């Protein structure tokens, strides 16, 4: 059954916001990544996004990779199965500034390989392509193997 949505500011004293949440913070993880500056950097991001259930966003100049994947310890009723021994990153996370009532709006966000590639094309000078075989000069050898 879907839980009623309680507004953060309406939370009763002593109640915990997590009691009214679907465990939003346990359904993904996010890591800062290098700011892309080259075609190779953007190509890596294109690869991240090609996997699906990923997105890349930029907030205050920092780039982040998000992987949408549910923690294996989140129970069906959205509780932490290992609450007392949960990882440090979870223990240090509080409801104060959590994403309970956030709509995931970012300064910049890329959800598909095509989006990041379009962005790279607008930002970077055109890629230098390797010469194809057809454009390579033809070298002919004489009978003794000398280049003519």
- Give residues in contact with ligand SF4 (CB under 6 A): 17-18, 21, 23-26, 71, 73-74, 80, 82, 86-87, 90, 95, 98-100
Strands 62-67 and 108-110: unpaired
In terms of CB distance, is 38 or 81 closer to ligand SF4? 81
**Residues in Cβ contact with 38 at an 8 Å cutoff, skipping those fewer than 6 apart:** 124
- Which CB, 86 or 115, lies closer to ligand SF4? 86
Nearer to ligand SF4 (CB atom), residue 21 or residue 120: 21
Segment (H or E) for 119: helix 113-123
- Return the number of the residue (34 or 59) whose C-beta is nearest ligand SF4: 59
Kindly state the smallest distance separating residue 89's Cβ from ligand SF4, in Å.
Answer: 7
| CA–CA distance, 71 with 67 (Å, rounded to integer) | 11
- Distance, first Cα to last Cα, the chain: 81
Taking the complex as a whole, the smallest distance from the CB of residue 12 to ligand SF4 amounts, in Å, to 15
What's the closest the beta carbon of residue 31 comes to ligand SF4, in angstroms?
14
User: How far does CA 113 lie from the centroid of its chain?
Assistant: 12
| Min CB(47)–ligand SF4 separation in Å | 25
- Name which of 66, 54, 58 is nearest 35 in CA terms: 58
């Amino acid at each position: 059954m879907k839980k009623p949505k309680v507004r953060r500011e309406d939370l009763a004293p002593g109640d915990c916001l997590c009691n009214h949440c679907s465990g939003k913070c346990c359904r993904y993880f996010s890591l800062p990544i290098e700011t892309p500056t080259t075609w190779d950097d953007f190509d890596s991001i294109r690869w991240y996004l090609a996997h699906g259930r990923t997105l890349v966003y930029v907030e205050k100049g920092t780039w982040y990779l998000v992987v949408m994947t549910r923690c294996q310890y989140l129970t069906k009723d959205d509780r932490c199965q290992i609450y007392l021994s949960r990882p440090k990153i979870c223990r240090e996370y509080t409801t104060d500034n959590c994403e309970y009532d956030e709509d995931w709006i970012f300064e910049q966000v890329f959800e598909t390989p095509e989006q990041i590639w379009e962005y790279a094309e607008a930002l970077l000078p055109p890629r230098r392509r390797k010469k194809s075989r057809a454009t390579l000069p033809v070298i002919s050898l004489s009978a003794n193997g000398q280049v003519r």
